[in-house]
């Protein structure tokens, strides 16, 4: 069977940063593999280790810089990688959910996987919607916020556990092919080994343009425009203790003792 | 007529609180659009749910008597059919785990834009949605360039509507295409039962990502011991397997309301805050002065937890 994993390189803002227009200034951003996707990669790699008929393919939508991230997926054991990029994508300041789903749909049609794994959300734009939209676009089944998955022996059913709010989990069976969006905590993502990293450097990444995918520019024209970005106004009225650690700890201890904390 | 259609969330026989907040967001948007406000409840005891949802500002409650629990295939079909029936301009749902399990499919199926996790809505010539990015470090506004849209709303951002309303309650029937139902809910499991119940504790010392390594947990354990407090954690600590799931505070863990909550190395992501904002006194120890935990804290120390926590422990020993 074939498992496709969607991987996103996300930008993380430093503790202190500046905004210029509708972007955080580049110097304050660090790029990394999206945390949720790391768990999706691990789930796919574990599946390929448990069985000998599994091929895993990572797909990312991103500029050349993001090859570093998709190579991380290769270093962790994903077999092949596809990167989708195009000038028309670059021109979008916010690629909307349906545009992402259309791009990924074209890759899924070319690859024909039995299972697509995707992180629940991306930590930069936090839409949390691409996986389910992709499933609908493909006519696949799906499950969102999955923290356990087991496939039936004949690969026709995925038994999943969905993490609901308040410590309740839902057990559901899903017909395959399916898209599952993976929650953190489902497994323990591995670190890439030095050998894995070296091998990943020499692997070819299959770069696909809109044209290659048989799509026109209209495929990425969305209906959402980012119009402003600002730092939220802090509503804090916290009393902040100042001083060296022994002073601040002393002041806090006095407050806590006043509230009866630590009194046996 | 531009109707707003909001879809309530319920689970195991009870409407979820966010459903009543959804009523506030929906009425607000319906007023801005100059249209009616319709609410749908799908599955479960729809009649009693409809009675509960008949609150101030609701024009119509549609009951869809189909199944007991949430099933995304049923929700997708029902919402699409209802959307056509009431000619909805806007569809709203909670940005809940179940909301995120069907809203993207409906928006995709209807070819309308979706904006998730809204914290504010404004409508003049078009819809403008306020939402956060980069792990709550920035707020953004997003303009929707379409006259129909689906928006999911974050819980805790609108007040719950309380007053009784005079909505008409209308059963909605549609022909469910069984062949398109490809998922079956088999049951539910409670997680996090274990040796301690953190929701019972008067004082919680809660540890987050800032602790960096499992070995470092010792220093917060020592603090919890010295304070005679219970140890809890935010999600990353539990995801790493350093503490069991029954210690997790947050949206997907336990909701706690102790007398004193000491957040050590916890930035205060919205999912975490949802689980602990009911604490009477909140103390935060974090190196980042802009960490959102300080927005809700009563007392704070902006410093390295590895320096402060042992000092604090010493004060109580």
Residue whose structure tokens are 């993976």: A182
Which chain B residues are Cβ-neighbours of A241 within 8 angstroms? Answer: 299-301
Nearest to B291 by CA among B310, B271, B265: B265
Q: What is the pLDDT of residues A66-108, one digit of tens each?
A: 999 999 999 999 999 999 999 999 999 889 999 999 999 999 9
Give the pLDDT confidence score for residue A85 in this predicted structure.
Answer: 97
The whole-angstrom distance between B66's CA and the closest CA on chain A is 18
The whole-angstrom distance between B34's CA and the closest CA on chain A is 23
> What does the mean pLDDT of chain A come to?
95
Contact B235/A at CB under 8 A: yes
Contact B115/A at CB under 8 A: yes
ipTM reported for the complex surpasses 0.90:
yes
Contact B307/A at CB under 8 A: yes
Nearest CA in chain B to A246: B311
Which chain A residues are Cβ-neighbours of B255 within 8 angstroms? Answer: 166
Which chain B residues are Cβ-neighbours of A28 within 8 angstroms? Answer: none
The whole-angstrom distance between B164's CA and the closest CA on chain A is 27
Nearest CA in chain A to B205: A261
Q: What is the pLDDT of residues A20-29, one digit of tens each?
A: 999 999 999 9
Please state, for a pLDDT cut of 70, what percent of chain A lies above it. 100
Interchain proximity A141–B182, CB inside 8 Å: yes
Q: Does residue B1 carry a pLDDT above 80?
A: no
Contact B212/A at CB under 8 A: no
Interchain proximity B132–A171, CB inside 8 Å: no
Give the pLDDT confidence score for residue B227 in this predicted structure.
Answer: 96
Give the pLDDT confidence score for residue A236 in this predicted structure.
Answer: 84
The whole-angstrom distance between A139's CA and the closest CA on chain B is 10
Determine which of B134, B208, B260 to mutate to test the interface with A (most A C-beta atoms within 10 Å). B134
Interchain proximity A172–B186, CB inside 8 Å: yes
Confidence of residue B196 (pLDDT cuts 50, 70, 90): confident
Determine which of B10, B93, B97 to mutate to test the interface with A (most A C-beta atoms within 10 Å). B97
Give the pLDDT confidence score for residue A10 in this predicted structure.
Answer: 97
Q: What is the pLDDT of residues B2-57, one digit of tens each?
A: 899 999 999 999 999 999 999 999 999 999 999 999 999 999 999 999 999 999 99
Q: Does residue B185 carry a pLDDT above 60?
A: yes
> What does the mean pLDDT of chain B come to?
95
Q: Does residue B81 carry a pLDDT above 80?
A: yes
Q: Does residue A234 carry a pLDDT above 90?
A: no
pTM: 0.95
Nearest CA in chain A to B189: A169
Of B101, B108, B260, nearest to A261 by CB-CB distance is B260
The whole-angstrom distance between A121's CA and the closest CA on chain B is 10
Of B11, B109, B259, nearest to A136 by CB-CB distance is B109
Confidence of residue A60 (pLDDT cuts 50, 70, 90): very high
Give the pLDDT confidence score for residue A134 in this predicted structure.
Answer: 98
Quickly list DSSP for chain B.
Answer: --EEEEE--EETTEE-THHHHHHHHHHHHHHHHT--EEEEEESSSHHHHHHHH-BTT--EEEEE---SS--HHHHHHHHHHHHHHHTEEEEEEESSTTHHHHHHHHHHHHT--EEEEESEEEESSSEEEEEEETTTTEEEEEEE-SS-EEEEE-TTSSPPP-SB---EEEE------GGG--EEEEEEEE---SS--GGG-SEEEEE-GGG-SGGGHHHHHHHHHHHT-EEEE-HHHHHTTSS-GGGBBSTTSB----SEEEEES----HHHHHHHTT-SEEEEEES-TT-THHHH-SEEEES-HHHHHHHHHHHH-
Give the pLDDT confidence score for residue B191 in this predicted structure.
Answer: 80
Give the pLDDT confidence score for residue A94 in this predicted structure.
Answer: 87
Give the pLDDT confidence score for residue A264 in this predicted structure.
Answer: 54
Q: What is the pLDDT of residues A149-191, one digit of tens each?
A: 999 999 999 999 999 998 899 999 999 999 999 999 999 999 9
Q: What is the pLDDT of residues B280-316, one digit of tens each?
A: 999 999 999 989 999 999 999 999 999 999 999 999 9
The whole-angstrom distance between A137's CA and the closest CA on chain B is 7
Which chain B residues are Cβ-neighbours of A261 within 8 angstroms? Answer: 203, 227-229, 260
Determine which of A261, A262, A264 to mutate to test the interface with B (most B C-beta atoms within 10 Å). A261
Determine which of B101, B224, B248, B268 to mutate to test the interface with A (most A C-beta atoms within 10 Å). B101
Interchain proximity A240–B301, CB inside 8 Å: yes
């Amino acid at each position: 069977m074939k498992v496709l994993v969607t991987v996103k390189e996300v930008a993380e803002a430093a503790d202190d940063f500046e905004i210029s227009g509708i972007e955080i200034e580049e110097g304050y951003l660090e790029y990394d593999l999206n945390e949720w996707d790391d768990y999706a990669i691990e789930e796919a790699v574990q599946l390929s280790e448990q069985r000998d008929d599994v091929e895993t393919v990572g797909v990312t939508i991103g500029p050349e810089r993001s090859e570093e991230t998709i190579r991380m997926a290769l270093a962790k054991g994903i077999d092949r990688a596809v990167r989708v990029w195009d000038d028309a994508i670059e021109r979008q300041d916010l690629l909307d959910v349906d545009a992402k789903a259309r791009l990924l749909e074209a890759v899924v049609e070319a690859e024909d996987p039995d299972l697509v794994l995707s992180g629940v959300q991306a930590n930069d734009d936090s839409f949390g919607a691409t996986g389910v939209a992709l499933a609908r676009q493909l006519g696949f089944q799906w499950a969102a916020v999955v923290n356990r998955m087991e496939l039936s022996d004949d690969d026709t059913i995925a038994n999943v556990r969905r993490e609901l709010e308040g410590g309740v989990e839902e057990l559901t069976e899903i017909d395959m092919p399916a898209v599952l969006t993976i929650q953190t905590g489902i497994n323990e993502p591995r670190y890439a080994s030095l050998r894995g990293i070296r091998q990943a450097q020499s692997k070819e990444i299959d770069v696909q343009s809109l044209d290659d995918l048989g799509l026109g520019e209209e495929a990425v024209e969305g209906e959402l425009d980012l119009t402003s970005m600002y730092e939220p106004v802090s509503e804090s009225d916290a009393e902040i203790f100042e001083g060296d650690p022994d002073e601040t700890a002393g002041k806090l201890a006095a407050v806590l003792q006043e509230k009866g904390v630590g009194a046996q | 007529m531009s109707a707003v259609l909001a879809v309530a969330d319920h689970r195991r026989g009870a409407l979820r609180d966010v459903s009543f907040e959804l009523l506030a967001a929906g009425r607000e948007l319906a007023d801005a659009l100059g249209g009616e406000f319709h609410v749908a409840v799908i599955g479960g005891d729809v009649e009693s749910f409809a009675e509960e949802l008949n609150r101030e500002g609701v024009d119509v409650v549609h009951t869809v008597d189909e199944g007991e629990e949430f099933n995304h295939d049923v929700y997708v079909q029902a919402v699409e059919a209802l959307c056509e029936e009431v000619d909805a301009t806007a569809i709203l749902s909670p940005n809940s785990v179940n909301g995120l399990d069907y809203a993207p499919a409906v928006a995709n199926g209807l070819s309308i834009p979706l904006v998730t996790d809204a914290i504010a809505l404004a409508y003049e010539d078009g819809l403008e949605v306020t939402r956060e990015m980069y792990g709550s470090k920035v707020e953004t506004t997003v303009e929707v360039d379409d006259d129909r849209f689906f928006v999911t709303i974050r819980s805790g951002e609108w007040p719950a509507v309380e007053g009784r309303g005079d909505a008409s309650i209308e059963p909605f029937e549609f022909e469910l295409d069984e062949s398109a139902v490809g998922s079956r809910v088999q049951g539910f499991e409670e997680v996090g039962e274990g040796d301690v119940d953190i929701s019972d504790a008067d004082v919680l010392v809660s540890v987050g990502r800032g602790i960096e390594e499992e070995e470092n947990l010792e220093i917060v354990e020592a603090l919890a011991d010295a304070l005679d407090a219970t140890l809890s954690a935010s999600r990353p600590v539990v995801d790493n397997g350093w503490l069991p799931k029954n210690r997790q505070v947050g949206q997907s863990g336990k909701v706690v309301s102790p007398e004193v909550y000491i957040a050590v190395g916890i930035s205060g992501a919205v999912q975490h805050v949802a689980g602990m904002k009911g604490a009477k006194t909140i103390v935060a120890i974090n190196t980042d002065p802009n960490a959102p935990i300080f927005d809700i804290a009563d007392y704070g120390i902006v410093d390295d937890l590895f320096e402060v926590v042992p000092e604090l422990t010493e004060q109580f020993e």
